[in-house]
Amino acid sequence: MTKKTYRPRFRKYAVWAAEAAVFVALFMGVSAYQARNLLTTNGQPAPALIATTLEGTQYDLSTSTGRPVLVYFFAPWCPYCSASADNVVRLRRWRDEDDLEILAVALDWTDAAQIKQYAEEHHLNVPVLLADASVASDWKVVGFPTYYVLDGEHRVMRRDVGYSTQLGLWWRSRVATASRSK
């Protein structure tokens, strides 16, 4: 009698595990397909990133060396960007500024007031850069949001397109921090 009660339970858990494995494989496949046209992670340095901040100052990525960087490209009209902007804000609370620089780069916007409103609505607590189509082209941004994680030498370590959870952003940024300590 005992053997019969364990077999159905085992089968149920085996089916759940198989379904979970299929889901994870599908998710990873879709993620890889979406990222196929982004910058590569083969150790090449990231392109230049020079833009005006929302406050009106000039920002140049090349002057901020020695620490990893999460570059979050967004469009103010993108609902997925709005959903993940809150995760970027929480990531800033989790990760010290000396340990990880986080940049929000606005693309496909009409005027600075639109970006200012977006930043206020989402309580963005990171520098917001006003970029243009040339930056999008250089960084191969083809969808929103797009994330790049750079190591301390500004080499692309991770890249992704689409919504990311706070935990997902934290995990991606840990990759760059871990490579920094090697």
Averages of pLDDT over runs of 10 residues in the chain (182 residues) are 63 84 73 74 91 96 89 97 94 90 96 96 97 96 94 92 90 71 48
Q: Whole-prediction pTM value? A: 0.82
User: Could you tell me which CATH number the domain at 38-180 has?
Assistant: 3.40.30.10
Res 57: pLDDT: 97
Contact in structure between 176 and 95 (CB atoms under 8 Å): no
Domain boundary assignment for the chain: 1-34, 38-180
Q: What are the tens digits of pLDDT across the range 107-125?
A: 999 999 999 999 999 999 9
